[in-house]
Chains A and B, each alone.
Chain A
Amino acid sequence: MNASTLGVQQPGVAPRVARFRYTKLGKIRFTSHRDVGRMWERALRKVALAVAYTSGFSPRPRIAFGFALPTGAESLAEYVDIGLALDRSHELSDIPSRLTPALPEGLEVTGGVIMDAGSPALQAAVTCSTWELNPISLAAGRPSPAAPDRGAPPTLAMLAERLDQFMSSRTFEIEVERKGTSVPTDIRPGVLAAALNDDGVITCDLSAKGTRPGDFLRALGADPLEARILRTQQWIDHQGGRAEPLAPGAYFAPPGLTEIFREEPIDVRSEPVPAFAAAPPPARHAGRT
């Protein structure tokens, strides 16, 4: 990489973007979305990937993330798009395995593809995420030591009842913090599906720009600060159903290039998934959709 090629398209070469899927698990969940951005910038320099830079006075690497994961939440399915400076995709096959050691513990690259640069950006394409919310795991049924005044977290039966109530309502208005002020907001439309299992884990699909997992938990009478929040999937609309952002056909792939990349072991979730209705796992209380 040298300064003269940064941010400059090579004539005759179609611009490419690498899309990676990665995890955010463990202690590192307490870092912010911006922190993760800096971790990626350092990691890309460490593995010397030929990253495209923005032009201008203060060039920045062309990196675009999906919707921010709330600080404190974990994820099995985060995504990042990275502009490539050169058509050196043939050198990229070992990049996922080299990136993981270059990233801090808890961030693990679990897949990647090469796309044409014209593919829709993550923030435009992703429509919803699947979450696992565990409102009692940290408190383990006791009054929270961190907030003794809040009393005991909800029991399983209480959660089940409130979830039924929520899912059978047409609207559900709560106060939601937006830029520092509380605004009454109907969060029901943003909850596409939800189910509770015997361990007290709520599996739910929340629309990308709609309801946030913390707000959903509060609507159920649970304290989001006491809950484990895990994003397990992100989805884009695809051929009348939905697919994960790495699934074949979910992006514009340059001919002959993705195959090289797909020789890497890619998580099963990169396979096309069935349409929405079949997606939620078996559960005691199936929500309405």
Chain B
Amino acid sequence: MKALVWHGKQDIRCDQVSDPGIEDPRDAIIKVTSCAICGSDLHLFHNFIPAMKNGDIMGHEMMGEVVEVGSEAKGKLKKGDRIVVPFTITCGQCDQCRRGNFSVCERSNRNKEMADKVYGHSTAGLFGYTHLTGGYPGGQAEYLRVPFADSTHIKVPDNLTDEQVLFLGDIFPTGWQAAVNCDIEPTDTVVVWGCGPVGQMAIRSAILLGARQVVAIDCIAERLSMAQAGGAITINFQTESVIERLNDLTSGKGPEKCIDAVGLESHVSMGQPDTLLDRAKQAVMMESDRPHVVREMIYVCRPGGIISIPGVYSGLVDKIPLGIAMNKGLSFRMGQTHVKRWTDDLLRRIEEGQIDPSFVITHTATLEEGPEMYKLFRDKQDSCIKVVLKP
């Protein structure tokens, strides 16, 4: 089969690889009908997430048709079922899964021993991601083996298109969880840093959850226009002062809720000297992430406010003003998404027409065009915001 394979830093190729097969009775094999390139794929592309290996298959946002089912998954799945695959692999039986903390499933990470040593305690296995999360082959491929398939799937109805439901596997619940973590009240101002795909979903989630006003921060015109379409007031941080605008919008009190949909690769610019220092330190491996957005959120957030971080961070960050955060009484909420905790509700909202996540798709291409799409997405060329691939 064809698959997009990681060969090293910024080196992803469309390779011919062997087909996956059932390895465990709880496995299923799906024929991938749609998959997407996620912003966090770019962190892997840039080799900012440790423990990738030459030959790893990329992709953690995918859906398809079940073509083979292991004996123990047959009660829940059958050939021909149309499913979205959550990017977090979940056993459905461990203590964390039973609590709904699916992204920290205790059993699905097949490199658990190593993850225990690095993280203190292992998190869930993830598709198409680092070997610290199991190194499972991803879904930017024609076929995918789904481990723990009896639990790791979202069945979707035939009357919805792939484009409408594909993002249930990652960016939609990720944006939703970021907004839910804010405990949004009708008087709240919610600020979203980053208008990439997760930021766009977070904006719409905050609207649906009843925020008084949603503010979106970015520097890319087309992303800001999409954010505005979703109901956000926009700030271009390259032409305006974020601090002044947020104070203006909140009567000088600052926003109650802040969402970081940027993560470890924040924009580097001369106007923000800390970003230059972060970039230099990152280049010589003295710091793994560039946390400018976290610093800015801590500074602008209203005392007693909440900081929600769906953006991916990989390791060590410097110069976080924890003293300010402590004295302002800020709460931090973050984590990989507990996808299945949210998907029943989100699928219902799609079916009812409350939201159609396909609005974010700007480019559709074949798997063979995948490497070029990675470049296009990374370089933000051709007004690219979200790429869907059709294997």
Report if A and B associate in a common complex.
no
Q: Which residues of A contact B (CB under 8 A)?
A: none
Q: Which residues of B contact A (CB under 8 A)?
A: none
